[in-house]
Structure 1
Amino acid sequence: MNPLTRIQDFLVEACEQSYFQIWISIYQDRFSLITTKGFELPLPFPSLHDVHRDMIEYPDFTDFYFCYDESRSIIVIRVEKPNLSLERINQLEILLINYYLEISLERERFIRHKMMESIRDISNLDNVDTLLTNILEHALSVIQVADFGVLWMYDEKENALLPRAWAGGPSESIQNMRMNIGEGIIGKTYQEKRTMFLSLLKDILHESSSIRKENLQHLFNAYSFTNLQSIISTPIFVENETLCVLIIYQNGERPLFTIEDKKVLESFSDQVSIALTNSRLFQNIKHQNQLLLQRDEIHDTFMKLSLQSSGMHMIASDLRRMIQLRLVIIDLTDDSIYSSPNHWFSEDINELRRKFNSMDAPQFYSTEQSGKQNTFYLQPVIGINQFLGMLIVEVTDKWLLPINKLIIEQASSIIALEMIRNQTVVDSYYQKTHDLFHELILCNDASIQNTKAIELGIHQPAYYLIILIGIPSHDDIHYMNMQNHRLILENKKRFREYTPIVFGFRNKITIILQSQSDTIDVSGHLKQLQSEWKQGNHLPIKIGIGLQYNRIEDIKKSYNEADKALSYLNHRKQPDLIHYKDIGINRLFIHQSQEELQTFINEVFLPLQNEKEQNQFLEKTLLTYIKQNRSAGETAKQLHIHVNTLYQRLKKIEEKLHISFSNPEDVLRLQLACYLKN
């Protein structure tokens, strides 16, 4: 038999009551009628104002009050005739305690059930808004005295708290509210990161005084408050940061929220935190998964382009279709530009090369033209550890979608492969041109020479001039090829008027210039090239120039002269550009090593250095004497000595070197030694 049936039987049998009612109020909520016998409805609700009394007598009935949990829960037994003895009341109280414990246990089961439902809901990540609303509804069903609740979430873009979920009756007008941080109870809860439990109307009004007028209007439009009595507002933390505020309201005749309600609400706020954390993780994993799928699709697309060898124009076109932004591919190996759409990019390629010659990571770049600010995203194109070019994308406000950055990064690898492929083709062309040219200069048959010249693109008749450019050796062959390509491109642009034939092989570039004029002026162009190349690449280049001829068979002679001029620069500390005609007597020493030349110089000057006290005198005397063309008077004048003293020194030199100044062969030897020493 359940406790309520026992109470009813006890009232009928032991107390002889044929008229009775049982009312109950949990946590001082309004009374509910549990059971009635004999009385005709309706009858008035018992009074919560008189809970401190044990019995209240009315004309037609009497109410007996039994209080529990510090008078927060009350059971009222209403009878027609109050003929209950103290003994019967004590017996009835025992039965009521059992009944109240059963009700409390049932309530705990209900709370636990709702908690479990909420916990099960947390795993449902398909619709977070629905999940949050369900959790809020569960909280309100457990905290029965609450009339409605709202979950507020901070929005970074609006820098305000926005209603994310609500339950208990608010209309859609609540969506118009925007609570600033620190504004009202909600904003203050967020700001101070603590639960606010308000059970006095004056406290509620005080804390709500900072709410803006428009927010109050939206709140009153959303819900009709009737005697607001108490509020609980608690913050919700996600990853140690305050993200939300959960607030519940209670209307009625008196405040009904309890500390237990606060704890229950905080428990549900923890569930909201878990739900939002799971949602974040789920969305992040989902996003990462989408990125991986997109990355695979992007990779497959570009691999197909690469395998099909569609060319740079097709890569630019497909890339623009994928990111929906204007772009340009700049190939610095040959200064080519591939834009999509065509002809939209107006930046100077040489200026970009100067500014970003060593770029190794993406960056934003802004320029201003005709009063308009242009912003670009620059992605370096790097292949075989070499900076080959760049991919430039027009953007807004230095911002680019992560997926577009991913696409651009993938594209740069394919572009690098395409550039290297193009370089390989060009390298093959240069190799064939090199072989063909050397077949031309090694051939002695005039008809074969003419055939080879036509194959090379050499015009007849014309004046011909050979220029050789030496590049410093480098361990990285790909780096050497890159330098070759760029130098060849520069020379083609500078000598366009001379219909140049330019090719590179290893660390040497060969230039064949052709002109109808018997004067080919190249010094200015080459000096400027040297200066700009050293400034932009920090590498010196040496240039040898042959003589000009007007016969095909003399191209070989001009080449050999340019080669000797380049060899001379490589073996001597001389300027980095020289014409063969300017070498002079040095032509005799081009193929002698430095060691051989130093030995020759030492044979003349070391014997003069045996005596320390005369070292400077004899060496300087000999150098001055030869420089003054063996004039005794001019030599003595230059040395500030008497001419007799000069003759004594010259005699000493003859003795030490075993020579005679009257012997032409000895004099020539001394002249060469002095020339080389200088």
Structure 2
Amino acid sequence: MFDLQFFESYLHDKGIHSAFQIWESTFENPDGRPIRENEQMIIPQSPKPQSLHPSLQQITHDGQTMVYFIYSVDYHLMLCFQCEYQFSLQDLQVLYHLLYPLHTNYVVNSGKAKLNTIIETISDTTSSLDLEEVFSNILVNTLEVITNADYGTLWFYDPELDRLVCEASEGFLLDEIWHMQFEVGEGPIGHSFEWGVPLLIQDPSEISKKGIKRISEENERLWDRTSDYFTTIKSVLAYPIFVDGKVERVMYLGQLKTDHLLNEQDLWLLKVFTTQVGIAIRNARQFADIKELNNRLIKRDHIHSTLTNLSIRNMGAEKIVQELGRMVGQKLLFVDLMEQEWFPASKKIPHDVSFKDLLKIASEPRESNQYELTHEGEVTHHLYPIRSGTVILGCLIVDAQKPLNRLGQMALEQGTSVLALELVQKQNISEFYYKHQRELFNSLIQMNDPTVRLQIASELGIQEESEFATAVFQYTDYTDSQLLEAYVHRLIAQIKKNAAPYIQTIFGYQNKVIVLASLPTPSDRTTFEKRVNELLEESAATKKFKLSGGMGSIYKGIHLIGKSYQEALTALSNPASRQVRNRIVKYSDIGINRLFTNQNTEEINRFLIEIFEPLELADKTNQTLEKTLLTYFDCNRSAVEAAQSLHIHINTLYQRLKKIEDSLQLSFKNPEDVLRLQLACYLKQSLGIQ
């Protein structure tokens, strides 16, 4: 603590009894102010030293003596006497130390003030959870802490531009700063961002010597516009701001007008401040994310509530799609892949993509629920599948030229779920309808009372007088029952679409679809068969579930519908139909195969083994005897034709036939043996039984 009495005592010992004043010049008050005096005197003309070197200076002028003590860049003392006196260097050093407590007191009080400022600014910065407000306050508060800086700018990395751009500016008078863009590593700003290290430059002309990448020509051009302004720059400070261990922004401070260069103390103060700034940014961002998430949840709940309300009120899929379009901000195309229809009907499916192709696209495994429709290599539309488990029920198609915002994406996510429920409900209603139709159909074919039969036929929508044929389609080789149900519904929709004029009634049951068709003319029969065969060919091409079909004979009158139905089942279950995938098997075409429809397969196999196993044992030349026997009957037992077909001499054929007789202990001259062999060859070839 400064002792004024001791100080005066020292002066008296030196023979100085005149009036004196002690003037203090600080960073905050560079013009100086008197802090101690023993009596009033004339204010000195120059309380500030002319230079900062040397640290001890004395001037005698007009009956006054002024002694300057330079303690630091920020703190000077001047001792002014109302007399002329010449101090020795030793005297000046003693006075320097006697006055040093005043400097110590300033440093302590100044440090407290700066610390309070830091605490206040950190508190101000971290108290806000609004990200924009945090950014706007950062520079203002920084300049409160770093008093040597005249201006400050805040820079962030824009990944789309791959450049650092100005986000905020304080104390900067020029608009050019907003047009400047720095590459990573370019200039002090880019260098600090790239390497995550602070830069203190007290002589801007030495920037190139610090290994910093040269500023681009465009940025130099912007700087050159303001060269008069920037020639006064004395020092700069670039400091990276870390958030969660990653550089997010760079703070750039400059000194223009102040007398004191930015220094290591400023660097340290900025380190303390930017650490808290990083925490403030992280907290504000987390709050913003939580707030955004909460808003999204509120909006999602509103969307879900609105769409669910429409569903509960049985407004239908069309109304739900209309409401979705309003939420999304554009018209949507809804495609029902179960019923093979779309809404609005006035719009067309883009590029005339078929239902089959839409189903194929939507069935591709993908993490995202968004698919693309392309035309000439360009994405024109986005497709959003509507699923229920493993089943694709439908899809929404959106114009890719009108990007969806987050709310639109959210609406589609909710919408596809609600539409899935709507379509499942519709499917369940169809199931109930099919069950009712099946019960009526079974009653019809079992009813003997003509009057009641007519009433049932009327309920089914069947005409009284027509020529009817029943077709039964059956899926096999399926493992997913839910997917099977979807396939049955789609097949019904396809048959309705392709053969609508001929259908009297149609329904699904388990893995089957039963169709009753009215086919009064040969042309009707040909067209109907052609169209159902096209469906079978299309199904065979998908290589999913195996679809086969059987068709009964055409009969006139409702009372014979049951007979046609039983024939269709016989044609479908006949072993010959298993070999056919791309056309319907008609009862009239299976001929003698009717005899084997309900036969035990094991018994037939045993019969074939009795014929062909002895030939295999007797044959040591790769099933030559079996091939000879099959060819012989294919050629209607013509030895000449059989020999030509086998490319062997006729005598060789006779030798093989004799060997066959010996092996089987049968004779080609015995009609019963011939029938037995011919039947075995037929079963092996026609029915595919091995």
Task: Judge same fold: TM > 0.5, yes or no.
Answer: yes
8 Å Cα contact 1:434/1:505 also seen in 2: yes
Give the number of aligned pairs. 664
Matched residue SS, 1:510: strand
> Which moved further from structure 2: 277-286 or 13-22?
13-22
Alpha-carbon distance change, 271 to 565 in structure 1, aligned in 2, over 3 angstroms: same
Task: Answer yes or no: is 1:32 the counterpart of 2:38.
Answer: no
Q: Which residue of 2 aligns with 1:76?
A: 78
CA RMSD of aligned residues (A): 4.1
Matched residue SS, 1:415: helix
Distance 1:547 1:152 in 2: 84
Letter in 2 for 1:488: I
1:114 to 110, 113, 117: 117
Task: Answer yes or no: is 1:298 the counterpart of 2:300.
Answer: no
Alpha-carbon distance change, 335 to 209 in structure 1, aligned in 2, over 3 angstroms: closer
Q: Which residue of 1 aligns with 2:688?
A: none
> How does 1:53-64 map onto structure 2 within 5 Å?
53-64=56-67
Distance 2:131 2:616 in 1: 98
1:284 positional shift: 2.0
1:114 positional shift: 1.1
2:573 to 567, 573, 582: 567
Task: Answer yes or no: is 1:352 the counterpart of 2:358.
Answer: yes
What TM-score do you get using the length of structure 2 for normalisation? 0.83
Matched residue SS, 1:122: helix
Letter in 2 for 1:230: S
> Which moved further from structure 2: 22-31 or 228-237?
22-31
1:486 positional shift: 0.9
> How does 1:212-291 map onto structure 2 within 5 Å?
212-217=220-225, 227-239=232-244, 240-251=246-257, 256-291=261-296
Matched residue SS, 2:476: coil
What TM-score do you get using the length of structure 1 for normalisation? 0.84
8 Å Cα contact 1:29/1:145 also seen in 2: no
Distance 2:422 2:249 in 1: 49
Deviations 1:83-123 (A, max 9, x none): 48779766644441111111111111111111111221233
1:4 positional shift: 7.8
Alpha-carbon distance change, 246 to 591 in structure 1, aligned in 2, over 3 angstroms: same
Task: Answer yes or no: is 1:514 the counterpart of 2:514.
Answer: no
Letter in 2 for 1:433: Q
1:390 to 388, 391, 395: 395
Distance 1:100 1:134 in 2: 33
> Which moved further from structure 2: 603-612 or 125-134?
603-612
1:424 positional shift: 0.7
> How does 1:391-540 map onto structure 2 within 5 Å?
391-396=396-401, 399-519=403-523, 520-521=525-526, 522-540=528-546
Q: Which residue of 2 aligns with 1:587?
A: 594
Matched residue SS, 1:257: coil
1:596 positional shift: 1.7
State, as a whole percentage, how many aligned pairs show the same letter: 28
Q: Which residue of 2 aligns with 1:21?
A: 21
Deviations 1:141-199 (A, max 9, x none): 444443333334444556554544444x4447476453433666545554565433333
Q: Which blocks of at least 5 consecutive residues in structure 2 are unaligned?
A: 686-690
Distance 2:578 2:99 in 1: 118
Alpha-carbon distance change, 466 to 192 in structure 1, aligned in 2, over 3 angstroms: same
8 Å Cα contact 1:125/1:279 also seen in 2: yes
8 Å Cα contact 1:382/1:388 also seen in 2: yes
1:260 positional shift: 1.9
Matched residue SS, 2:651: coil
8 Å Cα contact 2:619/2:625 also seen in 1: no
Deviations 1:443-479 (A, max 9, x none): 2222222222222122232221211111115343322
Deviations 1:479-530 (A, max 9, x none): 2211111111111222123244221111121111113324511443233222
Matched residue SS, 1:565: helix
Letter in 2 for 1:22: I
> Which moved further from structure 2: 573-582 or 5-14?
5-14
Letter in 1 for 2:335: I
Distance 1:216 1:651 in 2: 112
Alpha-carbon distance change, 333 to 179 in structure 1, aligned in 2, over 3 angstroms: closer
1:274 positional shift: 2.9
Letter in 2 for 1:180: F
Letter in 2 for 1:3: F
Task: Answer yes or no: is 1:148 the counterpart of 2:151.
Answer: yes
Alpha-carbon distance change, 189 to 6 in structure 1, aligned in 2, over 3 angstroms: farther
> Which moved further from structure 2: 569-578 or 303-312?
569-578
> Which moved further from structure 2: 480-489 or 60-69?
60-69
8 Å Cα contact 1:196/1:234 also seen in 2: yes
Matched residue SS, 1:123: helix
Distance 2:653 2:375 in 1: 75
Alpha-carbon distance change, 246 to 674 in structure 1, aligned in 2, over 3 angstroms: closer
Matched residue SS, 2:99: helix
Matched residue SS, 2:280: helix
1:301 positional shift: 2.9
2:330 to 325, 333, 340: 325
Distance 2:71 2:373 in 1: 75
Distance 2:359 2:299 in 1: 33
1:676 positional shift: 2.8
> Which moved further from structure 2: 314-323 or 154-163?
154-163
Alpha-carbon distance change, 241 to 479 in structure 1, aligned in 2, over 3 angstroms: same
Letter in 1 for 2:359: R
> Which moved further from structure 2: 125-134 or 447-456?
125-134
